[in-house]
Amino acid sequence: MGKVTAQLKTEGYRGPVEKAITVRSSDPAKSIVNLRLKANVVGSVDVLPRAYVGLPSAPQWEYETKLLVRKDATEKGELAITEFTTSVPWLKGKVRKVENPEPEAPGLPAAKPGDYVLDLALADETPAGQSAQNIRFKTALPREPVVSIPVIVAILQPIQTMPTSLVSNPPPDAAEVSMPFTAVLRPGLAKESFKAEVSPASFEVKVEPDGARRFKGTVTWKKKDGAPEKEGKLVLSASGQDVTIPVRVIERAVRAQAPAGAAPPKAPGQPGTQPASPVPSPAPSPQVPPPATGQAQQPAPAPAQSGTPVPAPPKTGP
């Protein structure tokens, strides 16, 4: 009889958790035993909308976000967040206690008195690339005195665009087409240096600020004289960094129309359609009756020609 001792670290977990344990022994009948450790982690606080952070945050690719921290209904005591820290200097954070009821905010539920709101943002010195960070704070609650929340940072492009390509499918008679887009600068890029250029000349672009690091713009294609180019590229740049977005205009094909007043064609077999003319069968060859007994067989007369009489065959015998 043996004993196995396992420890599950629940810091950073919420709700059902399941871990696998493999036990190896010298037992020839069963040298490997697989165990599963299951737990339902009930912390001191609920972190909303979720107990982790990804920056930039989807779907708008913002480089800042908010969390709501609320005491769990089964916990005792009073929530008091203190000693709030981040794992790196360029991950900035602020803590605010909710004193009065607050309505829902983008990405957050309605706040109650006693809740805490955490503001997180990336500073200009945030390095490019992907890294795993965290924030920590004390709660003054018995079940979970210290809370750690993971933060995943992924700075993969200097300028994030939505959408990543511009494609329009207008009718063939359209004289002008507009394609909107949004651009978000990564931390460290100067907003004042942002530029947008589009080519060839059949396209035009306009942009305007729409937030601290956000711009909104429109690419316009105009059907000018001749055959204007329908494929181009949009180049967005800031502080020496740039991204290129393909731009395309694909006009819809024109369907052939029947002449005015003409009835649409009907499929064979539908009421009102004429049946196909039958192919005439070839006329049967003329049959010559067999000769009478005792008479020599005569060759069949040639087919009659139009307007030419056919002579009777000569008689034979007495």
Confidence at residue 26, expressed as pLDDT on a 0 to 100 scale: 86
217 and 127 part of one domain: no
Judged on CB neighbours under 10 Å (0-12, 13-18, 19+), 316 is exposed
- For residue 142, the enclosing domain spans 45-155
Amino acid at 61: W
Rounded Cα distance, 128 and 273, in Å: 72
- 54: which 2 tokens? 């990804």
* Position 36 in a domain: no
Whole-model pTM? 0.64
* Position 14 in a domain: no
- 106: which 2 tokens? 């983008």
51 and 114 part of one domain: yes
pLDDT at residue 298 is higher than 70: no
For the ranges 19-28, 34-43, 83-92, 277-286, which has the lowest average pLDDT? 277-286
Confidence at residue 310, expressed as pLDDT on a 0 to 100 scale: 45
* CATH number of the domain to which 165 belongs: 2.60.40.10
- Taking residues 158-178, what's their average pLDDT? 91
Termini Cα distance of the chain: 136
Sheet of 241-249, strands arranged across: 166-168, 241-249, 231-238, 195-199
pLDDT at residue 295 is higher than 50: no
Closest listed residue to residue 202, CA positions, set 179, 171, 186:
179
Answer yes or no: are the C-beta atoms of 85 and 134 closer than 8 Å: no
* Position 89 in a domain: yes
- Taking residues 191-205, what's their average pLDDT? 94
pLDDT at residue 87 is higher than 90: yes
Confidence at residue 268, expressed as pLDDT on a 0 to 100 scale: 55
- Taking residues 32-47, what's their average pLDDT? 88
Which of these three, 155, 188, 207, is where a domain ends? 155
- Taking residues 109-129, what's their average pLDDT? 94
* Chain length of the chain: 318
* Position 198 in a domain: yes
For residue 185, the tally of other CB atoms under 10 A from its CB is 23
CA 198 to the chain's CA centroid: 25
Rounded Cα distance, 44 and 42, in Å: 7
- 86: which 2 tokens? 């981040």
pLDDT in tens, 56-78: 987 778 899 999 999 999 999 99
pLDDT in tens, 172-186: 888 899 999 999 999
167 and 96 part of one domain: no
* Position 264 in a domain: no
- 20: which 2 tokens? 């696998």
- 136: which 2 tokens? 């920590």
- 220: which 2 tokens? 């316009």
pLDDT at residue 309 is higher than 50: no
Residue 108 makes CB contacts below 8 A (sequence gap 6+) with 48, 49, 66, 67, 68, 117
pLDDT in tens, 134-148: 999 999 999 999 999
The rounded percent of the chain whose pLDDT value lies above 90 is 54
Rounded Cα distance, 46 and 143, in Å: 13
Confidence at residue 257, expressed as pLDDT on a 0 to 100 scale: 63
In the chain, count H helices and then E strands: 0, 18
* Position 136 in a domain: yes
If pLDDT is split at 50, 70 and 90, which confidence band does 307 have? Answer: very low
Question: For the residues of 160-194, what is the DSSP string, one character each?
Answer: EEESSSEEE---TT-SEEEEEEEEEEPTTS-GGG-
Which of these three, 206, 221, 249, is where a domain ends? 249
Confidence at residue 252, expressed as pLDDT on a 0 to 100 scale: 83
- Report how many domains make up the chain: 2
Confidence at residue 16, expressed as pLDDT on a 0 to 100 scale: 84
166 and 144 part of one domain: no
Which of these three, 229, 249, 269, is where a domain ends? 249
* Position 19 in a domain: no
107 and 175 part of one domain: no
Confidence at residue 60, expressed as pLDDT on a 0 to 100 scale: 79
Rounded Cα distance, 8 and 40, in Å: 11
